[in-house]
Structure 1
Amino acid sequence: MENTLRNNPLIRLLKTLSKEEWQDFEKFVASPYHNNGRNFLRLVKILRKFHPDFESPKLTKQLLYNELCVGKDYKESVLNSSLSRLCSIAEDYLLYSEFRKNDYRFIECLKLKALSQRGLEVKAVKHIRNSVDSLRMNKLNEEYFHSMKMFRKEESMFNHSSNQRSRLYKPLSESIRFIVYSFIVEILSCDSTIMAQKNFWHEDYSNSYTKKLLSHIDFSGLLELIRSNDKQAFPVLNVLYLMNKSICEIDNDEYYFDVKKNAYEILDTLDQDFRKGVLSLLSLICTMKLVIGKKQFGAEGFEIRKKVIEENLYPVTHSNYMRPSEFRSTLLEAVNLSEIKWAEKFAGKFVEKIQPDIREEFIHYSKAIIAYEKKQYSAAIDYAVRVNINQIMFKLDMKNFIAKTYFETKSYEPLISHLNTYYQLIKNSNSKNHELLNRHLNLIKYLRKIVNIVLTNKRKEDLLFLKSKIEADNVTAKKWLLEKIRELT
């Protein structure tokens, strides 16, 4: 018998539920319609005591059985059966929860379809009349055009099946228009995501068949036509188009300032999730520009990111947890701009919004970085070696900070050894983001050279020559390297 249940499929699923979702889940479990007449609510209420982490050593099968079957001899098969059935109900709850998250316009579309298929013509006509205006009134989101496409298509199909063909043209022609709009949204959103996340994929997307297909679509011409004919749709589609251009042509700063201006003009017309996405992408573009050496975008991006964080507009996972990449980017941007107090406050508050099963790693991660910035080097090393996040970006971050910490404390012997393991991590990585890996390889190369100069008491001219090489190269921690050379000269 296992001592704990932390690896149980049900427990792994329940860890992903927020406090609000748990309340809904209890109602779902209590419903005879969903539980097939079996009462699992007592088991759920026992498990609630251990939510959200489920890390307590008290959580064992024996404990659950004793509370469920008071005074009876332990039978693991009985408990396993209950856990398995509750897991199935929990999976059904996830499906139900996702359905409820659908854009309400899509729900109205499904309702129209159901009424139409059952021949309830009077109800269907009334539903169309009541829905058309309200569908356009609420704030826009990424699903708006897709939902309108589906609703208008269902309306045209209803008109056809009920022999009201004189009413067929308008909804069908509008459906075609929304098909085009939806196509533009989906293509630009997917393309922007791929380009923005290129650190994590391994394929040559730029020369792929998919990208070649996109190159034959005249998005600029489409947007100009929409500008002239649809004042409601154009602002949103234009922001997505400019966002895509800014990401794909990261060297062109005009696209960024253009999209920022246009995005801020329509923020109030967007629903919260769409607003989150727009601001998050603006911040991401600034980060991408900063990486290629456009230093002025550091402060620009951080101001946007602060707005995102302080207004709780940051993107979250499906389980409503903060994305690890968002936590990392926010923390690093803050410390890079010497906003240490803000960074510490952010980390202390928002690490609790990281998914529970990886939260401890991010506590160590953030404490290592903040300790380093406070020159608490012993603590920085102690926290850094505890970090075990299985993503190359985070692994490189910690190798980077440990290397800098050893140098700051003049621990040259462990630094030399550490640089060897740092180098092997990069060489053994299967990441196709060669630019990222090369930046870190350059850090290792230049740090080795600086250490060699220090240990062999070479001349000032050697450091100045190295300084010129670093300034011209693409290297991680360039600012820090140049500061160390300046201190040594």
Structure 2
Amino acid sequence: MDFAENNFITLLKSFTGKEINEFEKFVNSPFFNNQNSLIEILRELILHYPEFSSNNFTKKKIFSAAFPEKKFNDVLFRKYISNLMKLAEDYLVCKDILVNEEKRVISLLDQFDNKNLTPFFERQLTKIEKNKELNKKITVETFYFKHFREELKAGYYIKINKIYEIKSCLIRSQVYVLLHLLMSNIVYANMMLIVKKTFKNSENNNYFDEFNEAFDLIGYLEKISDLDENEKMFIALCRIDHLISKDPYNLNNLKDMKTLILRMSDVLSDNLLYTFFSHLNIYYLLNLSLNSIDLTKDFFENYKFMVERGLYDRKGNEFINYTEYRTILNYAVRLKELDWLENFIFRFKDKHEDDIKDSLNKYSLALLNFERKNYEVSLKYLSQIKVSEVIMKLDVDILMLLIYYELDYIENALSLIDSMRHFLSDEKHFSNTVKDNHHNFLKYYRILLMNKNNPKLQVLVNLKIEIINCTNLRRKYWLLEKIKV
């Protein structure tokens, strides 16, 4: 295996420049590392950051540079790299605790409790409970850590013989467990909704529906009287999210959910704000599939808010998943926001998974050039794409069909239609909804194609009516644009 593909090197590549500097100091610390050999090896390795790909980047050359007087020993070198990997893992754990204030203070309380340092425990607990900023923000882990805080308080009261004080701790501890469970339930149920819509083997999975029928978590939590305002708002947001998941087509609920998310935008952590906006966007998409065209701009504004607010920035590293990225591409195109789209493509060009980064960037530029009517340029980008991801293959093929239509490449289009039909029939993972979506497009596209140069008026009139009434169809707006009747 190429040394550049070693797990430790892969991990180093993911580090920012600041993290590389911090890690070097970490390895130099005698508290964490007592092997000078590791310091020498790391010093040579980071000279090759961030590419780790020059001709001098081999195990032998790194070893020789670190230890000029020693003969290369592969077993010893692998041991050094293994030890550095362990140190890198320790660094990440330490860094996480230091930057996560909730996690840090609970860990500190636990340590004071274990060492029977009661005055230290009391001071730290008072400090935490007076910290308005810490108690105001709701993160993915807030309720989880507050549960542990209440448990530690209960143990503290028992230790100082004030058992009569533990009642509220025990109740609050359980309430926080339920709030954390509510958060998980809402998030997981929404994820399952996506999976059920997309993949065949999940279509009949009703676990979360059955759970929510058996346990009315929201109803129970709403009856608790001593919740703070942010906790009450959070429960209200979860309730409306749950209601919309059962009936996504109630537009008043959709509007109320967006209002509540924006109202809580300074209360929810960026991670949770992203999560609830993602849920909202899924519900918008379900409505848009039923021809709620008036929601298109509002839906796209949600994504613009998410991009401009930096919700795709995870602790200094921007990343956007393929599904969301392609949704933003498609709706920017639909609304002709091409200048914004160009900036968006450039901003995120290095923010994708490595195995699809090059293909996704080429597809994005192909789509942008297609919309600007640079069909030959678009086709050139598509021809350079090596597709391994099945959803992207469908995206590339659909765009190829649109270009063939515009350039009047009839035979190429017919051949690709046939190829796509076979691919969809053979693909076992797609749900029937996804397959029907593409089969419908191919059916209507073929009729449109065959009537492009010799149009039959009645055929096109009937086609337009069918397309308008079809609720499961890709590129619906493009098909309708091409029917000139």
Tell whether the structures are fold-level matches, with TM greater than 0.5.
yes
Structure 1 residues 295, 19: CA separation in 2 closer, same or farther (over 3 Å shift)? farther
Tell me, yes or no, if structure 1 residue 407 matches structure 2 residue 405: yes
C-alpha separation between the residues in 1 aligned to 2:149 and 2:409?
67
Structure 1 residues 299, 45: CA separation in 2 closer, same or farther (over 3 Å shift)? farther
- What is aligned with 1:296? 294
Amino acid paired to 2:340: W
C-alpha separation between the residues in 1 aligned to 2:281 and 2:225?
26
Structure 2 alignment gaps of length 5 or more: none
Choose 202-211 or 288-297, whichever is displaced more: 202-211
**Cα RMSD (Å) of the superposition?**
2.9
- What is aligned with 1:164? 162
Structure 1 residues 425, 460: CA separation in 2 closer, same or farther (over 3 Å shift)? same
Does the 8 A contact of 2:151 with 2:170 survive in 1? yes
- What is aligned with 1:363? 361
Choose 401-410 or 107-116, whichever is displaced more: 107-116
Structure 1 alignment gaps of length 5 or more: none
Cα offset, 1:22, TM superposition: 2.7
- What is aligned with 2:33? 35
Cα offset, 1:378, TM superposition: 1.9
Does the 8 A contact of 2:332 with 2:338 survive in 1? yes
Cα offset, 1:236, TM superposition: 1.6
Amino acid paired to 1:332: N
Q: 2:465 aligns with which of 461, 468, 474?
A: 468
Q: 1:142 aligns with which of 140, 143, 167?
A: 140
- What is aligned with 1:26? 24
- What is aligned with 1:11? 9
Counterparts of 1:80-95 in structure 2, within 5 Å, are 80-95=78-93
Q: Give the number of equivalent residue pairs.
A: 483
SS at 2:292's partner residue?
Answer: coil
Does the 8 A contact of 1:403 with 1:415 survive in 2? yes
Identity %: 22
C-alpha separation between the residues in 1 aligned to 2:45 and 2:420?
43
Cα offset, 1:235, TM superposition: 0.7
Does the 8 A contact of 2:187 with 2:275 survive in 1? no
C-alpha separation between the residues in 1 aligned to 2:136 and 2:219?
28
C-alpha separation between the residues in 2 aligned to 1:71 and 1:128?
55
- Give a deviation string over 1:13-50, Cα, whole Å, max 9, x none: 22332333333322322223333424434443444354
Cα offset, 1:210, TM superposition: 4.1
**TM-score, normalised on structure 2?**
0.89
Cα offset, 1:151, TM superposition: 0.2
Counterparts of 1:133-282 in structure 2, within 5 Å, are 133-134=130-131, 137-199=135-197, 201-204=199-202, 207-219=205-217, 221-222=219-220, 224-226=222-224, 230-282=228-280
Cα offset, 1:139, TM superposition: 2.2
C-alpha separation between the residues in 2 aligned to 1:412 and 1:330?
30
SS at 1:142's partner residue?
Answer: coil
C-alpha separation between the residues in 1 aligned to 2:99 and 2:246?
31
- What is aligned with 1:130? 127
Does the 8 A contact of 2:146 with 2:173 survive in 1? yes
Counterparts of 1:269-348 in structure 2, within 5 Å, are 269-314=267-312, 316=314, 320-348=318-346
SS at 1:32's partner residue?
Answer: coil
Cα offset, 1:223, TM superposition: 5.4
Choose 83-92 or 195-204, whichever is displaced more: 195-204
C-alpha separation between the residues in 2 aligned to 1:58 and 1:276?
43
C-alpha separation between the residues in 1 aligned to 2:384 and 2:431?
25
SS at 2:192's partner residue?
Answer: helix
Q: 2:380 aligns with which of 372, 379, 382?
A: 382
C-alpha separation between the residues in 2 aligned to 1:485 and 1:364?
29
Q: 1:113 aligns with which of 94, 110, 114?
A: 110
